[in-house]
Amino acid sequence: MTATPPSPGASQPRPRRDELTVLIIDDEPAVCSVLVAMLSPEGYRCVPLHDGRRAVEMVDLHHPFLVMLDLMLPETSGLDVLRDIKAVHPNVIVLMMTGFPTVETAVSAMRLGAFDYLQKPLHLDEVLFRVQRVIEHTKLLAENDDLRVKLDHHRRSQRLLGKAKSFARVLDTIDVVATSDANVLISGETGTGKDLVAREIHEKSHRRGKPFVAVDCAALPDHLMVSELFGYEKGAFTGALERHPGLFEAAEGGTAFLDEITEMSTEMQATLLRVLQERQFRRVGGRDMISMNVRIISATNRDPAEAVRQQRFRLDLFYRLNVVPIELPALRERRDDIPLLAGRFLADYARHHDHPAKSISLEALDLLRGHNWPGNVRELENLIQRLSIMTPLQTIEAEDVRKVLSHESKPTVDLTECFGLPFRKARRVWLAQFEKPYLLRLLAEHDGIVSRAAAAAGVDRKTFYRLMRAHGIRPAAEN
């Protein structure tokens, strides 16, 4: 930890609240309130929870550095909650609390991984002293070189989060395949994180010090794709004023990521297959063969086997690329990972903009779990960013989520439906559907700063504010 809480009466800088979150689990609201009153003035971000059965979910969401856990809970034992937390988050520090301490319970808690014991009734000096001990312990751990390496890797992999069995298999496969140079074909719906998996394989492989170069195979026609992949010589075509290396040259020694490979024309697929078989190519307009040492990772949002049956994907190229297949599950197939991901996105957004992370209520989480997520993890991330900007209070409630989801689920107006209307009415109907999502998108892209959003829209701030008021959008400054 980079921050240390001040001792009572000391004049020291306060720790960053988004780094020092304390999860308080006690069925008595009065106890939670007392602890919040003790810790909040010292700079800690406190999250109270009265239902121990949702402890793991809240650790997933808020990533606390400390859990303060009551031993006696009505629906479940504090020791059972401790066991559940440690099974999923073994590095989270847990401080047990009880008004009826015994040697047996203390020993049991320590065996299960509790860091320390705190006896009720709670006293300010004692609470701050124990929390200070946790901070010092955490600082010592952070100085360990091995842990620092793991934390560095965690920052790279922070969006590849999940506990679901289907996603755990993906992570295991990444670890295994990263040790080889085998071609990998990643399949999964749009927004599931295929590019992140490709980068993770590269970063874990012996090629990590070399380039990772990506190309969208759906974005370019064949004549441009050839130049993009293989490069061209000066004078090869009109406008080729100098030699230009292609993707395979740029990725030499590293990894080439061919995204949406099944959208490449079958003719271009045949060219690519020949290059992969021979491991050499010519630049456009060139005569010399160039050898390549590049690992190939491909991705598609289609079912690769079905694409082969539909003759969209050459069978021989499929076999060449599909040495190790990785299929990413849709977010709706791993709904229990949503709190973990939502918590990460809230923390990332807050850290990026240097302000305290917002929290999200359990009822709001339940709504997120129930959504179908056609855009998968990318859709969830965008929604969390929008909620971080537009929610007026520090806690995102169910109603905030409901408003955003209901807005996103509204069907857009079909242009043909306006053809039978008078011009002025047709324009009003169309603009009503266009303006609000346009304004929200601009605000999201510019962190809620109206002046920047207005500049991007090409209008003055006064006009932008007027449009926001017309659609019931509150500026971030009012939030």
pLDDT for res 279: 92
Split at pLDDT 50, 70, 90, the class of 419 is low
What is the pTM for the complete model shown?
Answer: 0.63
Please tell me whether residues 298 and 357 are part of one structural domain.
Answer: no
pLDDT for res 460: 84
Please tell me whether residues 439 and 467 are part of one structural domain.
Answer: yes
Please tell me whether residues 65 and 173 are part of one structural domain.
Answer: no
Residue 111 lies in a domain: yes
CATH label of the domain that carries residue 297: 3.40.50.300
CA 379 and chain centroid, separation = 10
Residue 351 lies in a domain: yes
End residue of a domain, out of 283, 304, 328: 328
Please tell me whether residues 53 and 181 are part of one structural domain.
Answer: no
pLDDT tens readout for residues 382-396: 899 889 888 888 889
pLDDT above 90 coverage of the chain, percent:
37
Most confident of 12-26, 59-73, 398-412, 414-428: 59-73
Please tell me whether residues 180 and 321 are part of one structural domain.
Answer: yes
Residue 8 lies in a domain: no
Number of folded domains that form the chain:
4
Residue 105 lies in a domain: yes
**Mean pLDDT for the stretch of residues 263-278:** 93
By residue range, what is the domain housing residue 39? 21-146
Rounded to 5 degrees, φ, ψ at 183 are -65, 145
Please tell me whether residues 358 and 448 are part of one structural domain.
Answer: no
pLDDT for res 91: 83
Please tell me whether residues 78 and 106 are part of one structural domain.
Answer: yes
Tokens read off for 375: 């855009």
pLDDT above 70 coverage of the chain, percent:
86
pLDDT tens readout for residues 213-265: 999 888 778 878 888 899 888 887 777 778 888 899 999 999 999 999 998 99
Split at pLDDT 50, 70, 90, the class of 285 is confident
Please tell me whether residues 427 and 289 are part of one structural domain.
Answer: no
Please tell me whether residues 419 and 368 are part of one structural domain.
Answer: no
